Amino acid sequence: MDAHKMDETGLKMKYARIPYVRQEVSRIFYGTASPPFSTSGEGKELLDAMLELGINAFDTARVYGNAETALGRWMDERGVREQVIILSKCGHPDTDWTKRISETEIRSDFAQSSACLRTGYIDIYLAHRDDADVPAGDVVEIFNAMHAEGKIGAFGGSNWTHERIEEANEYAYKHDMIPFTVSSPNFGLAEQVQDMWGGGGIGISGPSHQAARNWYKKQHMPVIAYSSLGRGLFSGRVKSEKPEAASEVMDEFAMKGYAYPDNFERLRRCEKVAERLGVSVPQIAMAWLFSQKLNTFAVVSTGKPKRMVENIKAMHLELDEKTLGYLDLQEESDK
């Protein structure tokens, strides 16, 4: 069951427990895969603002440029390490997409991450991509050893299929080990039609991934959803009547993943519902995400604290089942 906290602005941040994480985790993770964190390694004031809003969870990765360095410097200078939850990732493929899911690579990534983060402990640690040629049980063994050594708390996969996670967990249960307890796929109102970066990006949105969503519902596994606002599609700056202008707002990866007719129709419906309710398009898309019957957390990146305030408000925006279906193209009639 969720707990609630009232912050200084009068907003309620929602929190929930994730197994093997030492404290409650905010339902919104602040994402650092963008400037200024990934570039200059700065952004302390932004991180301050997010913490003040009640966000205590921060998403980063070994391959996010200077993001881990920025987080580590901030935690050290502000003395907030014990207040925050750090999620980082390992085993991302090389630039030529050579896979790196092995004990040597995972431990090497951890050593570099912990040095940048200025901490010997990472609260949530994820394999950033999968390698189907490596038995899932091997990864379970590696992560269990690192957990026993006090290096990591919860662990799981980013961009792993639910079938591979199930394979990992069957091995864990059979060998009396800790299973994967968290997953980070792409999830949101927009369907990721193509893998944006290559190398095995996994999404669970859209009609073709109903089986995956059903599995997550049954398992109640925390889903830490990335690109939940369609990487700019639902920012409010893209207009459904001008899909040809989307590239002025969305980068090449977002265009490859989301710039398709069904998603622009979802955007059009978001615009209509937002106008009817007197809120913004991103608030409707965020409300849709948190209204799903999954144990959902959202990774959100923004350079403006006031936008995060709107995201937090959206967590409390109630949408009825008909509206939820309408937004996801399951209802034909306009509202």
Q: DSSP for 129-174, please give it.
A: S--TTS-HHHHHHHHHHHHHTTSEEEEEEES--HHHHHHHHHHHHH
Q: What pLDDT sits at residue 333?
A: 66
CATH of the domain at 167: 3.20.20.100
Give CA–CA dist 129/89, Å, rounded: 9
Q: What pLDDT sits at residue 101?
A: 92
Token pair for 12: 């309620």
Q: Is residue 135 part of a domain?
A: yes
Q: Is residue 2 part of a domain?
A: no
Across the chain, the runs of DSSP E, i.e. the strands, are 3-6, 12-16, 25-26, 28-31, 57-59, 85-90, 122-127, 152-158, 182-184, 223-225, 296-300
Token pair for 176: 């009396």
Which residues are registered as beta bridge partners of 90? 127
Give CA–CA dist 151/123, Å, rounded: 8
How many structural domains does the chain have?
A: 1
Q: Is residue 4 part of a domain?
A: no
Q: Is residue 334 part of a domain?
A: no
Q: What pLDDT sits at residue 145?
A: 98
- Cβ atoms of 181 and 173 within 8 Å: the answer is no
What domain range includes position 43? 16-327
Give CA–CA dist 40/99, Å, rounded: 28
Q: What pLDDT sits at residue 219?
A: 96
Give CA–CA dist 45/48, Å, rounded: 5
Stated pTM of the model: 0.93
Q: Is residue 6 part of a domain?
A: no
Give pLDDT tens digits along the chain (335 positions): 444 443 444 478 999 999 999 999 999 999 999 999 999 888 999 999 999 999 999 999 999 999 999 999 999 999 999 999 999 999 988 787 888 899 999 999 999 999 999 999 999 999 999 999 999 999 999 999 999 999 999 999 999 999 999 999 999 999 999 999 999 999 999 999 888 777 678 899 999 899 999 999 999 999 999 999 999 999 999 999 999 999 999 999 999 999 999 999 999 999 999 999 999 999 999 999 999 999 999 999 999 999 999 999 999 999 999 999 999 998 776 65
